Amino acid sequence: MAHSIAPSLLAADFGNLNEAISEVNNSAASLLHLDVMDGQFVPNISFGIPVIESVARVCTKPLDIHLMIVEPDRYLSTYAMFKPEYITVHLEASTHLHRSIHKIKELGCKAGVAINPHTPIELLKDTIKDIDLVCVMSVNPGFGGQSFIDNTYTKVTNLKKLIAETNSNALIEIDGGVTIANAEILSRCGADILVAGSSVFRAPSISEAITALHG
């Protein structure tokens, strides 16, 4: 099954963002994945509104904003101003997930929900029909360059079944530790979008790495 690639800018050289983004623009990538970390929901701080504002000006690919922050509702309308394709909030950070999903849609974006490695897919059962994208974390969020957690294969297979059984249109995104060694099998398990940071931006050629991940 065909899958798309969303390079994660977190692994790019922040001193040379223009060049990194123009390589992504000229690649087969479908989205640019942007990791917002607040130092509270995850033990790391990445970048936020001013950086994304600049990225949005030069990036020609649709943006995929992954909010690893507490109280994400406070910032949804701000991130929606950059007209991303997706805004993703974490299930674990959302007290009123149903409300957050609908708020994202009202703001004109597609709604993503991310789940940490310890979070069972069953917790998505009552919202899956409203969700456009489930981001399955295949590492504990907070850092790039971590090793892929193998339980993700089973999780994706079961999530694919849940999506089919409920007639949901949600796509499955995998985030963390994606390489050419696991891309194909993830795709066979039912993944639609693979996020890849280190395996793209630490490669000798960004666009060739993106092509290779398509299999």
Q: Which residues bind Zn ion (CB under 5 A)?
A: 35, 66, 175
Is residue 126 flagged as an active site residue?
no
Give, in order, the Cα–Cα distances in Å from 212 to each of 143, 175, 181. 23, 17, 11
Q: State yes or no: residue 3 binds ligand DX5 (CB under 6 A).
A: no
**160 scored as a contact of ligand DX5 (CB under 6 A):** no
Nearest distance from residue 167's CB to Zn ion, in Å?
27
| Residue 72 or 177 having the CB closest to ligand DX5 | 177
Q: Using the rule CB under 6 A, which residue among 5, 11, 24, 159 binds ligand DX5? A: 11
Name which position in 141, 174, 187, 193 contacts ligand DX5 (CB under 6 A): 141
* Polymer length of the chain: 215
Task: State in angstroms the smallest separation of the CB of 167 from ligand DX5.
Answer: 29
Catalytic residue among 35, 64, 132, 192: 35
User: Which C-beta is closer to ligand DX5: that of 64 or that of 132?
Assistant: 64
**Phi and psi at residue 3, to the nearest 5°:** -125, 160
H runs (alpha helix) in the chain: 17-25, 49-58, 76-80, 97-106, 152-165, 183-189, 198-201, 206-213
Considering the rule CB under 6 A, would residue 8 count as an interface residue with ligand DX5? yes
Does 144 bind ligand DX5 (CB under 6 A)? Our answer is yes
Catalytic residue among 38, 64, 175, 192: 175
Report the C-alpha gap between 137 and 1 in whole angstroms: 20
Query: Is the alpha carbon torsion for 100, 106, 107, 108 positive or negative?
Result: positive
> Is 175 one of the catalytic residues?
yes
Return the residue matching tokens 């977190």. Answer: 10
Q: Of 5, 24, 32, 33, which lies in the binding site for ligand DX5, with binding defined by CB under 6 A?
A: 33
Q: Report the candidate in 104, 105, 154, 160 with the shortest Cα–Cα distance to residue 134.
A: 160
Yes or no: say if 148 and 180 are a contact pair by the CB < 8 Å rule. Answer: no
**Catalytic machinery residues:** 35, 175
- Site residues (vs ligand DX5, CB under 6 A): 8, 10-11, 33, 35, 66, 139, 141-142, 144-146, 175-178, 195-199
